[in-house]
Amino acid sequence: QSVLTQPPSESGTPGQTVTISCSGSNSNIGSETVNWYQQVPGTAPKLLIYNNNHRPSGVPDRFSGSKSGTSASLAISGLQSEDEADYYCATWDDRVNGRVFGGGTKLTVL
Amino acid sequence: EVQLVESGGGLIQPGRSLRLSCAASGFTFDDYAMHWVRQPPGKGLEWVSGISWDRRDTGYADSVRGRFTISRDNSRNSLYLQMNSLRSEDTAFYYCARNTIMDYWGRGTLVTVSS
């Protein structure tokens, strides 16, 4: 049972916008910044969004992050087949005194 | 180019010990905190441990505290994870990652704990 709650799966068609949610509490998302990672099966995770809404260089602006209260979201616009991957949110949790990940969301491009 | 290369994984019996290494290159290693993150095959990511740039601060997940020890040698640009009293539930790919935001990851090394 992950401290951060994500939907197990989401799907969309090419060109659509998909949003992945990440729900936490005051001890984590409510008081800390959120990062998002993309993992294509068989490869290492890749940083997609850091500090809630910042993109590392090289990440397309189709990817955007936001945070409100104890929840965060990752939006992917102009969905492409290459976006099919697992997505994880992560932050620090004061209660467990460590970093925590969401359970991951498998994105399928139909 | 930033590179992180893990090594030391393999098949190990329950109760035994194993030491993982992560060789870093392409950046000033002692400028950054470092982390270990693991992923059981087919499952999600779990933060294992982290260490500050100067080794003063370390942190562990409850699942490994007291059994695993993180360390680093800045003169060798290397990060380590000493894993003792291994259990079957420690079976996973182990990744090292750079920085608080984990902006770079290695390819991982697989640890299989089984008799």
Residue B13 has pLDDT above 80, yes or no: yes
Beta carbons of A19 and A72 less than 8 angstroms apart: no
Q: Give all strands (DSSP E) within chain A, no chain letters.
A: 9-12, 18-23, 35-39, 46-49, 63-68, 71-76, 85-93, 98-101, 105-109
Contact residues on chain B for A97, CB-CB shorter than 8 A: 59
Measure B87 CA to nearest chain A CA, in Å. 19
Closest residue on chain B to A48 (Cα):
B103
**Inter-chain CB proximity A97 and B59 less than 8 Å:** yes
Contacts of B106 (CB under 8 A, 6+ apart): A44, B3, B4, B5, B6, B22, B95, B96, B97
Measure B21 CA to nearest chain A CA, in Å. 17
pLDDT value, residue B23:
98
pLDDT value, residue B16:
98
Region B69-94: what's the mean pLDDT?
98
Region A78-105: what's the mean pLDDT?
96
pLDDT value, residue B70:
98
Q: In the A/B pair of chains, how many CB contacts fall below 8 A?
A: 56
Residue in A50, A96, A101 closest to B44 by CB: A101
Residue in B44, B50, B108 closest to A2 by CB: B44
Residue A1 has pLDDT above 90, yes or no: no
Closest residue on chain A to B94 (Cα):
A44
Region A59-81: what's the mean pLDDT?
97
Residue A2 has pLDDT above 90, yes or no: no
Q: Give the pair of three-digit tokens for residue A8.
A: 């197990």
pLDDT band, very low/low/confident/very high, at A31 (cuts 50, 70, 90): very high
Distance CA B40, CA A104 (A): 13
pLDDT band, very low/low/confident/very high, at A18 (cuts 50, 70, 90): very high
Residue A64 has pLDDT above 80, yes or no: yes
